[in-house]
Chains A and B, each alone.
Chain A
Amino acid sequence: MDPTEVEFLAEKEIVKIIPNFSLDKIYLIGGDLGPFNPGLPVQVPVWLALNLKQRQKCRILPPQWMDVDKLEEVREMERKEDSFTPPPSPYYMELTKLLLNHASDNIPKADEIRTLVKDIWDTRIAKLRLSADSFISQQEAHAKLDNLTLMEINTTRSFLLGSLNCMFKLRSNMQPGTSTGKGPDY
C-alpha cells in the first residue's frame, strides 16, 4: 500500500469547521452534509474541510486530541509502557500533516504540536522495530500487536514480509531434505 493511499483513507475522518457561506444540506453517497450557516460549526470530512479552507470559505477547528497538554500526556504514557498505548486517533499522523500544512493559522501552537506528534511517532516506530527484531530472533510463529495505526503498519509491511520470505527461501534451500527443525512456517 502506498502512503498516499493511507492518507486518502484518513481524509474520511470527520472534523469541525466554521464556514463563512451558507448552503442547504447536501446529499452525498457517503452521507449527508450540512446545512452550512456562516459562523455556526458543522461536521464535515477532512477532504471537504481542506478544499473549503483553500478556497477561503471556512475556518478549521483543531480536533479534540490536537492539544499540547493532551499530546504531552500521550507522549509520556508511550515512553513509559513497553507495549503500544492507544493512539490519539487512528489516523493521527496523516491528520496532523494535512491540517498543519494547510490550516496552520487556525491551530494554536502548531509548531509544538508538530514536535509532539513526531516524538510520539518516533517512540512507536522504535517499539515496532524492537518487536519485529525480537520476533525474528526468537523465531516465533505468530505475534499480536494492539493499538497500531494503519500508517505505522504500512511502514513495515513490505519490508517485513519481503525479508521473511527471503529468510524462508534461504532456510529451506540450505540443506535440501534435512529438517533440523530450523525452518518454521510463516
Chain B
Amino acid sequence: MFVTDIRKEFYDVVINQVRVVFLSSKDDKCLDVLLTALFHCDQVQYTLVPVTGWQDLGTAFLEHKEQFRYFVLLNCGANVDLLEMLQPDDDSIFFICDTHRPVDVVNVYNDSQIKLLIKQDDDLGVPSYDDIFRDEDEEADDSGNESDGGSEPAGKRKRYDEGAVERRIERQRAKREWEARRREILFDYEQYEYHGTSASLVIFELAWVLTKDNKDMLWWAVIGLTDQWVHDKITHMKYVTDIATMQRHVSRHNHRNEDEDNSLSIDCMRISFEYDLRLTLYQHWSLFESICNSTYTSCNFKLWSLNGQKKLQEFLADMGLPLKQVRQKFHSMDMVIKENLREVIEESSNKYGMKDIRIQTFGVHFGFKNRFLASDVVHAAAALLESTEKDESASDNFIKALDCLSSNIKKSNLERLHLGIDLAKKKLIAIQQTVASCICTNLILSQGPFLYCYLMEGTPDVRLFSKPMALTLLCKYLLKAFVSSTRNKRCKLLPLVMAAPLDVEKGTVIVLGIPPDSDTSDKKNFFGRAFEKAAESTSSRSLHDHFDTSIIELKMEDRTKFLDALITLLS
C-alpha cells in the first residue's frame, strides 16, 4: 500500500518503536546514511543489515524475525511478492523504500503489512484492482447455485438445470476471459524493469517536512541522484528534472547562512551548483587521463584506434593546451589554463561533435583543500563497495563505503574517500582497456535479436568484473563504444548481453543484459523476465539472486544452451 503521509505513517510510527531493523541492499548507500542520520537525531535504536541478494534477505529476515516487528527495506523488495517470499508473521510490518519498478501488485494492494514509501506521481502504471484480483463472492455464488439446483425435485430440476448449466458455462467463459486478460495485463506491467525516483530524494523530503534537513543530508540526496545517473538507471530528462528540485533546496540552504557581515567559517560545507564537464574524476586526476577514460569522450573520439588518438591530440592542440600541462595532475596545472577551462573545452568539443560535454551537477567544498563533485564521490563509493582486494568481506566493504560518504562530517574519513577515488581510477582504466581490446578483437557478436560478448578468463582485471556494478558499467561503455564504431545500422539498435566469469572454482559466470543504447531510450530492461524464461525452458542451473532481475549467475556448462534458448525466445 502506498504511504500518503510519510511523516505520520512512517516516521512517527517508527520512532516510537524500541528497535527497528534496516535491511539494505548495497546499491544506494546514500539512502542508508541519510536514514540513519535522521534516526540518530531522535536517538532511535536501529540495526543495519546489508544484504546482497534475495537469499541473503531471507536469511537476515529469519534471523531477526523473533526480535523485531518493524522492518525497513532499503532499495530492495518492491518488485517481488514479499509476503510469499518471506512468509512473515501477521504482525510484522514492512516499510519499503525502493527504486526498482515495477512494484509487485501484491505489494501495492496489501493494506496491512506492506507500506511503500514511494511517490505516487512517479508514473507507475499500476493496473487497477478489479483487473487483477477477483473477489471470493463470485465463487460462492457458483457453488450455491449448483447445490440449489441439486436439491430441487426432479421435474423442476430439469428446467433449472438448463438455466443453471447455461449460466455456469457463461460464468466459466467470462472467468477464462478475465484470466486471459489478467495474464496479459500482468505481463505488460511486469515485462520491463526500470528505476524510479531516487529513494534518497524521498527520504530527504521526509527530513525536510520534519525540518531536520541540513546540508549533509542534502549532499547525500544529491549523491544518491547522481549515482542513478552515473550508472545509467534513469533517463536524462528525469535527471534534469530532479536536479532542478535539488537546486531549489540548495539555494534555500545557501541563503540561510550567508550574509555579508557574518560570513561562514571556511570549514563549513558549502554545496554549489556547477555546470561542469562530463569528464570523470578530472579534478583528482590529470586532464589527459580523464579524457581517455571517460565514456563520453572516449566513445566520441574512438580512442581505441590510432585515428582516435590523433584526433585527441588535434583536440588538445585546438584548445591550445600544451601536452605537458594536460598530463600533469589537475591541481598542478597553471591557473591561467584552469580559469577558462570549461568554456574552452565546450567550444572545442562542439567542433568535434560532442554537444553535451557539460552536465548540471553539484559540487561540495569544505576547508581549503577539499573540493569534490557529486560524481567523484559516487565513483569512489562504488569502487570501495566492490573492491576485490583479498581478505575483505562484503560487510567490511559496505562499512568502508558508508564511511567514505560521511567524510564531510568526520574529517578522518577523508582518507577513505581518497582511497575510493584511487580505486575508482584503477577501475576506470581497467574498463577502458577491456573495452578497447573487445572492440579491436571483435569480441562482440551479433546473435540476431541481441549482441553478445563473453569475457575470457585470462583477460586482465577480469576479477573486477565479477561484481555486478562494475560489470554494468563495462557493459554500458562497451555498448556505446560498439555503437559508435560499427557501420551496421541494424546493430546499433540491439541490446547487449554480457557474460563474465564469476567464480572459477565453482564454474559460474555472471550474465547481465542491458537495453539498447539510444538518446531517447527510457532505460526499460526486459531481460529480467527473458532470463527467467530461458533458464526455465532449458533447466539450466541458474541463480536469480540479485535485486536487479537482469543480472543472474549461471553454470559455465549451461551457458550455450541458455543462450540458444534466449535467442529463440527473443526472436
A residues with CB within 8 A of B? 20, 55-57, 100, 104-105, 107-111
Contacts and interface: CB of A to CB of B under 8 A. Distances in A.
A109 B262 contact: yes
Contacts of B40: 55
Interface centre among B43, B212, B264 (most CB of A within 10 A): B264
Contact of B257 (A20, A55, A105): A105
A105 B265 contact: yes
B262 A108 contact: yes
Contacts of A56: 41, 212, 214
Contacts of B148: none
Given A108-B261, A108-B262, A109-B262, 17 more contacts: A20-B211, A55-B41, A55-B43, A56-B212, A56-B214, A100-B265, A104-B265, A105-B257, A105-B264, A105-B268, A107-B265, A108-B263, A110-B264, A110-B265, A111-B265, A111-B266, A111-B267
Interface string B249-284: 000000001000111111110000000000000000
Contacts of A109: 262-263
Contacts of B262: 108-109
A105 B268 CA distance: 7
Interface in B20-66: 40-43
A28 B91 CA distance: 39
Contacts of B212: 56
A85 to B, nearest CB: 27
Interface of B: 40-43, 211-212, 214, 257, 261-268
Interface of B: prevailing SS:
loop
B364 to A, nearest CB: 15
Nearest to B213: A56
Contact of A104 (B41, B214, B268): B268
Nearest to B265: A110
Contacts of B265: 100, 104-105, 107, 110-111
Contacts of B263: 108-109
A57 B261 contact: no
25 contacts: A55-B40, A55-B41, A55-B42, A56-B41, A56-B212, A56-B214, A57-B41, A100-B265, A104-B264, A104-B265, A104-B267, A104-B268, A105-B257, A105-B264, A105-B268, A107-B265, A108-B261, A108-B262, A108-B263, A109-B262, A109-B263, A110-B264, A110-B265, A110-B267, A111-B267
Nearest to B409: A54
A111 B261 CA distance: 13
B204 to A, nearest CB: 14
Nearest to B211: A20
A100 B42 CA distance: 23
A55 B41 CA distance: 4
A61 B141 CA distance: 73
A52 to B, nearest CB: 10
A178 B249 CA distance: 82
A107 B263 CA distance: 9
Contacts of A107: 265
Contacts of B42: 55
B133 to A, nearest CB: 44
A176 B538 CA distance: 101
Contacts of A108: 261-263
Contacts of B41: 55-57
Contacts of B267: 104, 110-111
A53 to B, nearest CB: 11
Nearest to A51: B43
Contacts of A111: 265-267
Contacts of B43: 55
Contacts of B257: 105
A107 B265 CA distance: 8
Contacts of A100: 265
Contacts of A57: 41
A56 B211 CA distance: 10
A101 to B, nearest CB: 9
A5 B257 CA distance: 34
A97 to B, nearest CB: 13
B286 to A, nearest CB: 32
Contacts of B261: 108
A111 B263 CA distance: 10
A113 to B, nearest CB: 9
Contacts of A55: 40-43
B263 to A, nearest CB: 7
B232 to A, nearest CB: 35
A107 B267 CA distance: 12
A56 B214 CA distance: 9
Contacts of B266: 111
Nearest to A107: B265
A178 B211 CA distance: 79
A116 to B, nearest CB: 14
Contacts of B268: 104-105
Q: What are the 3 A-B residue pairs with the smallest beta carbon separation, nearest first?
A: A108-B262, A110-B265, A104-B265
Nearest to B212: A56
A108 B265 CA distance: 8
